Amino acid sequence: MDKLEIRNLVKIYGHNTDKALEMLKNGAENDEIRQKTKQVVGVRDVSFSVKSGESFVIMGLSGSGKSTLLRCINQLIKPTAGEIYLDGENLFAMPPRQLLEVRRKRMGMVFQRFALLPHRTIADNVAYGLEVQAVKRAERKQQAMQAIELVGLKGWEDSYPHNLSGGMQQRVGIARALATNPDILLMDEPFSALDPLIRQDMQDELLEIQKKLQKTIIFITHDLDEALKIGERIALMKDARVVQMGEPEDILLSPATEYVARFVEHVDRTRALTASAVMIKPRAAVYPKDGPLTALHLMEKYGISGLFVTDRAGHLMGYLMADDASRLVKKGEKQLVNALNKDVPTASPETPLADLLDILARTQIPIAVVDEDQVLKGILVRGPVIAGLAGERSGE
Q: List contacts with other proteins (CB under 8 A).
A: 71, 74, 76, 100-105, 107-109, 111-113, 115, 117-119, 128-129, 131-133, 160, 180, 186
Which residues does residue 245 pair with via DSSP β-bridges, in sequence order?
A: 235
φ/ψ of residue 133, rounded to 5:
-85, 0
Minimum gap (Å) between residue 106 Cβ and other proteins: 10
Contact 60, 237 (CB under 8 A): yes
Please say which residue, 102 or 245, places its beta carbon nearer to other proteins: 102
Minimum gap (Å) between residue 59 Cβ and other proteins: 21
Minimum gap (Å) between residue 107 Cβ and other proteins: 7
Please say which residue, 34 or 104, places its beta carbon nearer to other proteins: 104
Contacts of 242 (CB under 8 A, 6+ apart): 46, 48, 235, 236
- Separation between Cα atoms, residue 245 and residue 32, nearest integer Å: 26
Please say which residue, 100 or 293, places its beta carbon nearer to other proteins: 100
Beta strand residue intervals within 158-238, DSSP E = 184-188, 216-221, 233-238
Please say which residue, 102 or 237, places its beta carbon nearer to other proteins: 102
Minimum gap (Å) between residue 177 Cβ and other proteins: 9
Q: Which of 293, 305, 302, 300 is nearest to 330 (CA)?
A: 293
φ/ψ of residue 187, rounded to 5:
-115, 115
Please say which residue, 23 or 116, places its beta carbon nearer to other proteins: 116
- Separation between Cα atoms, residue 45 and residue 81, nearest integer Å: 9
What's the distance, CA 41 to chain centroid? 27
Please say which residue, 1 or 134, places its beta carbon nearer to other proteins: 134
Cα separations (Å) of 306 from 118, 284, 293, 319, 341?
A: 66, 9, 13, 7, 10
Minimum gap (Å) between residue 114 Cβ and other proteins: 8
